[in-house]
Amino acid sequence: MSVLKSVHDWVQNTPPSLLLQRNEAWFIPTMQSIHIAAIGVVLACVLMMTLRVLGVCGADRSVLQTQERFGPWLTGALWLLLATGLLIILCEPRALVTFSFWLKMALVAIGALVAWLFRRSVRAHAESWDATLVRRRPVKAMAVIALVIWVAIIFLGRFIAYDQIWGRLSPSAVAGASQ
Amino acid sequence: MSLTPLLTALQNSGVAVAIRNSLYYFPMLEAIHVIALGLVFGTIMIVDLRMLGIAGTQRSYVRISSDVLRWTWGAFGLAVLTGALMFTTNARVYVDNTFFRIKFALMALAGLNMLVFQLTLARTAEEWGEAGKAPPRARIAATLSLLLWLAVIFMGRSVGFTTTGQAAKLSAPPPNVDFNSFLESSSSSSAPPASSAQP
């Protein structure tokens, strides 16, 4: 816990952070707006790929064609999220001492891994994805789970500002109680 | 005509009080609102990029819009619902907020842009929908739509920063059910499933 706090304190006193803090009034809302727009791109891309696997949307396109349409936009949006996320943390490092943030990071890693595995599998087995895989229940379940992971990530992202809802699980609550 | 009595009644309503008294409802509503508006923006972007000839050009405009726009409307409904519930908690402050007012003006413009497009160019989409790019007027509508919705997101985020200050957060009442009591009850006594599994 104290490690997180010291990292937080160190980041907060670095020159780039101090520079951004002086411009916080417009910088944070602007970065968060770009972050939210990129979240929209991620969510729409994951939704479209999930719905294709479920057979609800884009039935005229193969699974590979669907992945090739939305995969690169998903990747691009994730890089944009990383960049804006880092800048937000640099300006306002309080997220580093929240439970929501670290749980969110774990889920982002899982979500990105699932998307990467999906891309790899679709490229290697394009024909069996269309012929058999999309009809299998575990595959459909996995597509839904991937979407749920991104939805959970958005919840956790918003909860960073309300980390007290986790009670003692929140490192800042623990730090506050010990002081 | 003054809206004040109506707004006061709204923020004194049972729903508004319940949301204000909970530590969880408002963050939950915010998160669902972000998911809903993200889907609105993301799905509209799919259609706009198709019109601009930037992405999805192998499919016709008609196919894409019929695939995607019903999700846009579903998400928009969810954004309206969660937005309305958040609005009730502090109605008089929101109505006076500049960012809030600009946001709604921009949404009206985005709606007008969509309405004009749907009543004119979209009616002839069968004719131009297969082409790589939509006609120039449709491309203007697509660009306007993207810019307006981005601005709506920025205004919406700014509403949050200008209506709920640090003081409002600090004065938030304690939750009725919190994770501390949950953690204590599960750690002080042995977990029921584990004890019942023992012979």
**How would DSSP label each residue in chain A?**
-HHHHHHHHHHHTSHHHHHHHHTHHHHHHHHHHHHHHHHHHHHHHHHHHHHHHHTSS-TTS-HHHHHHHHHHHHHHHHHHHHHHHHHHHHH-GGGGG-HHHHHHHHHHHHHHHHHHHHHHHHHHSHHHHHHTGGG-HHHHHHHHHHHHHHHHHHHHHHHGGGGGGGGGGSHHHHHHHH-
Q: Which domain holds residue B165?
A: 4-197
Nearest beta carbon to residue B34 from set A45, A65, A154: A154
Distance from CA of B6 to the nearest CA of A (A): 30
Mean pLDDT of B89-111: 96
Q: Which residues of A touch B75 (CB under 8 A)?
A: none
Q: Kindly state the percentage of chain B with pLDDT values over 70.
A: 82
Label residue A162 by pLDDT band (50, 70, 90). Answer: very high
pLDDT at A2: 83
Q: What is the pLDDT of residues A81-130, one digit of tens each?
A: 999 999 999 999 999 999 999 999 999 999 999 999 999 999 999 999 99
Q: What is the average pLDDT value for chain B, to the nearest integer?
A: 87
Q: Kindly state the percentage of chain B with pLDDT values over 90.
A: 79
pLDDT at B2: 84
pLDDT at B191: 40
pLDDT at B163: 87
Q: Which residues of A touch B72 (CB under 8 A)?
A: none
Distance from CA of B40 to the nearest CA of A (A): 8
Interface confidence (ipTM) of the complex: 0.94
Distance from CA of B199 to the nearest CA of A (A): 33
Domain locations in chain A? 2-178
For chain B, how many residues are written?
Answer: 199
Nearest beta carbon to residue B150 from set A28, A37, A58: A37
Instruction: Say if residue B128 is exposed, middle or buried (CB neighbours under 10 Å; 0-12, 13-18, 19+).
Output: middle
Total domains in the fold of chain B: 1
Mean pLDDT of A121-143: 95
- Cβ pair A168:B179 closer than 8 A: yes
pLDDT at A49: 97
B135 vs B176: which has the higher pLDDT: B135
Q: Which residue of A has its CA nearest to B40?
A: A40
Q: Is A152 on the interface with B (CB under 8 A)?
A: no
**A 53-72 residues with CB < 8 A to B:** 57-58, 60-61, 65, 69
pLDDT at A172: 76
